[in-house]
Amino acid sequence: MLIRRTAGVWSIQFADGQALEGIDQVLDEYGSRGWELVSLQPQSWGTEAGQYGPYDVSAWRATFKRRVIDGGSAAASAAGGGR
C-alpha cells in the first residue's frame, strides 16, 4: 500500500475513489481488520540541491501481513475433529 502526503496530510486512496486521511487512521483501520504492519519504507523523497540529508519523504510503501485461517480444517482441528 502506498501512503502519500498531499497538502501536508498523509492519506491512502482506495480503488473506489474514497480516501482515508491521517497516518494513525490508516494504520488503525488496517489493524482493526487483522493486518499487522511489517515494514514502512520511503517510496519517494526530495532534497535541496547539493543536500545529502535529511530528506523530505512524500510517500511511504507500507507492507502488511495477516494470518490466513483455513475455515474448514482449522475449525475441525480446533474442535478436536481433525484426522
Other CB atoms within 10 A of residue 68 CB: 7
Amino acid letter, 23:
I
CA angle 63, 45, 3 (to 5 degrees): 35
The predicted pLDDT at position 81 comes to 45
Task: Using pLDDT thresholds of 50, 70 and 90, give the confidence band for residue 13.
Answer: confident
The predicted pLDDT at position 36 comes to 92
* Mean pLDDT score across all residues of the chain: 77
| Own/partner long-range contacts of 36-39 (Cβ < 8 Å, ≥24 apart) | 36/64, 36/65, 36/66, 37/62, 37/63, 37/64, 38/63, 38/64, 38/65, 39/63
